Amino acid sequence: MKRSLLRWAQCAAASIVATAFVPVAAQTASVAEAAPAAAAAKRPKICLVLSGGGARGAAHVGVIKVLEEYRVPIHCIAGTSMGALVGGAYATGMSVPDMERINNSMSVEKLFKEKPPRQELAMRRKIDDYSNLVSPEIGTASKQATIVKGVVSGVQLETVLRELARVQGYHDFDKLPIPYRAVATDLVTGKAVVFDEGELANVMRASMSVPGAVAPAEYNGMILVDGMLTSNLPVEAARAMGADIVIAVNVGTPLLKREELNSILGVAGQMLSILTEQNVQASLAKLKPTDILISPELGDFSTGDFDNLPKITPLGEAAARQVADRLAQLSLPPAEYAALRKRQQVAMVPDLTPVDEIRFDNLTRVNPQAAQAVMETQPGQPVVQAQVDADMRRLYGTGDFEHVNYRIVGEEGKRVMAVDAVEKAWGPDYLRLGLGLSSDFSGETYFNLVAAHRMTWLNSLGAEFRTDAQLGYDNSLRMEFYQPLSIAGTFFVAPRVSVGTQRVSIYQQDNRIAEYNVSTAVGGIDLGMQFQQYGELRLGLEGGRVKAELETGPASLDPGGDTRTLGAIRARLLLDRLDNVHFPRFGWNAAATIFDNNADLGAELPYTRWAASGRLAHSFGENTVRLGVNAGGTIGNNPLPAYDQFQWGGFLQQSGYATGQLIGQNLQFGQLMFYRRIARGSLFDGAYSGLSLEIGKVGDPLVKGNPDGVLRSIGLFIGTDSILGPLYFGYGKAEDGPDSFYFYLGKPL
């Protein structure tokens, strides 16, 4: 199943490994070059035809390497899918060593990880990561069910294509250093589309849109998918370019064996392979005796083996050498070939010409001004490729679009950046679900179901109404109306209400002796400020009621059971530059909160509580070192009520102790963590093993006799950031204290 999934879901993208520069028109040959050009005119026109085949297409690079070794002139190139990408790179003057270097840098993660780098997400989307929510999101506003058009939208692929292409703009493919054609399939008509002009990166993207795997490309009014469906080995396109001799390289994937057809994906992939093989055989039948066919023996390498591209390239070399005698017959004299390659390898200069206008077409919900405010690229400024790529990722990271791309077009004497931002068909209202499960294998088990419903773009400034619910060990319902005060969204106002019940276990040493049930009902309003992708500051007023009751345990621990009135000022600062919340490899975050329950605002039990935390992560290869601190206490002389004291203990927060075993008036905690990525995955960020060294203190404990001095612990774990949330298996041991095994699915409590 793994092989069939990779073949079907990621079929065309390996060809991205060779894309590089989009050149300007080839420069006119000098008089000194006229003689070689005249001599070449008397020779047969040789066209290189490169098939699709996913990661197996890395073999094309090996074939080209041998063609250069034997000084075989290439006068035109036609390619499909991965062949369109490798062929486009070579047609624009990229060298074989550069192709091999790019091969070595490619991976499944780099090509197919759709989510933009977390540091580039809007702060409101980052905050979602602190809840146990899983993807995908469910649209709740659409009148009919909407399914995703592909496993990946292609945003990350396009980013890589633009990075490698470097130069933007529309080109006549006959004016490239080597004339070039790319083939895609019109999804509406079912016919092959042979591109002889266009924006090279977008044409390559259209040629490689595997149905069901990569979302179709919309280009020049057409809905385009992978050219493999109609012409995976485009011999006819080469003939139309005037080819006398065709060198065809076929890296298509063989059909699955009977025992491999054991899943829906396997059957679907086999159907695509059958369609592809039929048109390949038709193309092979059109080869002439003077043509050369190269079919590399690629063994078990699949279309999805993007992590093994350096191993595939030599297999193309080996296949080309098997026809060395025929290639030698096409060889040019060294001087003549050198002159030809000099003309074909044109140095590229990035086009930094400013755009006069940035335009968003076809937006019906999202305010175009708000979308442009997300971008750093502005009209009148030089267009820097890396900056525009980051702009596209940030737009995609807002969560409003299912696909984002752009074109540079000329209109009425001005240069326009047309941003093709496709709003989610299943929006604008979304539901996400999740769960949290934990156990210390000694009787303490916690289970919560969570749900978050988000209504977006309620007005032109981007207002949102959010509802978060939790059901299980703890129950809660929270609603917030988030209203930006400007297009930029720097300042906002957010009225909110929440109700909930929470159970608090009380320990004496290692024994649970009591349990509280704490009920709250709170309403408030915040005035806040967003620091772009860096953080958020809130200052608000809130009021409500809280009731803490003793469910079980001695009367001496009874918190009173009366309903208390709250009236407070709350300030919260959150800064977040982590690349991942659960297993960060780089970055930092910090948070600080002050809660002043004030008698002047109606509070019955006035007190001031503060809390702060921070994390810093840095990696060396697959190894990561992480530092963490937590602290909290009171301001003034009023103690914290029993229901709002600091609860600590458990996995990675004084490991060895039970979850929430340590309760007191103040907290100091420090942590040094080391973990190593022991495996990579395409559906998850990776698997990790690590240890945590912890030192802390919970002062003035609620239960007299509990530890109030310095505590030291060590934690060991293996874990992964799975599609259901972080998954941990761990062991903790406290110095001269308890030990425990832990299991967590979802964020540790």
Rounded CA separation 302/253 (Å) = 7
Stretch (H or E) spanning 240 = helix 235-240
Using an 8 Å Cβ cutoff, are 300 and 256 in contact?
no
The two structure tokens encoding residue 745: 């699915």
Residue length, the chain?
A: 749
Q: Nearest 5 degrees, angle CA 553-CA 499-CA 569?
A: 100
Question: Is 142 a catalytic site residue?
Answer: no
DSSP H or E segment with residue 431: strand 429-439
Task: Extract the tokens encoding 102.
Answer: 């790019």
Dihedral sign for Cα 422, 425, 426, 429, please: positive
331: Cβ–Cβ under 8 A, 6 or more apart, which residues? Answer: 70, 71, 72, 337
Backbone φ and ψ of 320, nearest 5°: -65, -35
Q: In 3D, which of 740, 68, 626, 6 has the Cα closest to residue 341?
A: 68
Q: Which helix (H) or strand (E) holds 321?
A: helix 309-321
Q: What is the DSSP letter of 62?
A: H
* Tokens 């773009």 belong to residue: 457
DSSP 559: -
Q: Which residues contact 620 (CB under 8 A, 6 or more apart)?
A: none
Alpha carbon separation from 516 to 284, 643, 650 (Å, rounded) = 77, 8, 19
Q: How many CB atoms lie within 10 A of CB 410?
A: 11
SS3 category, 578:
coil
Q: Quick one: 469 exposed, middle or buried, by C-beta within 10 A (0-12, 13-18, 19+)?
A: middle
Residue 178 near residue 170 (C-beta atoms within 8 A): no
Query: Can 81 be counted among the known catalytic residues?
Result: yes
Cis peptide before 254 (omega within 30 of 0): no
Q: What is the C-alpha separation between 291 and 238, in angstroms, rounded?
A: 12
Q: How far apart are CA 493 and CA 482, in angstroms?
A: 6
Distance CA 527, CA 484 (A): 10
Q: Report in angstroms the alpha-carbon separations of 382 from 188, 290, 379, 569.
A: 38, 50, 8, 46
Assigned token pair, 490:
């720097």
- In which residue are the tokens 């935390």 written? 613
Asked if residue 446 lies in contact with residue 747, where contact means CB atoms within 8 angstroms, the answer is no
Q: Which of 4, 15, 51, 81 is catalytic?
A: 81
Number of H helices, E strands in the chain: 17, 33
Nearest partner of 82 among 199, 213, 233, judged by Cα: 233
Residue bearing tokens 């179901």: 449
Nearest residue to 596 (alpha-carbon basis) of 566, 616, 629, 553 = 566
Partner residues linked to 479 by β-bridges: 467, 497
Q: Is the dihedral of CA 38, 39, 40, 43 positive or negative?
A: positive
SS3 percent helix, strand, coil of the chain, rounded to 5, is: 25, 40, 35
Cis ω before 726 (30° cut-off from 0): no
Q: What are phi and psi of 125, to 5 degrees?
A: -80, -30
On whether the CB atoms of residues 404 and 392 are closer than 8 A, the answer is yes
Given the residues 226, 400, 468, 526, the one annotated as active site: 226
Please identify every residue annotated as catalytic.
Answer: 81, 226
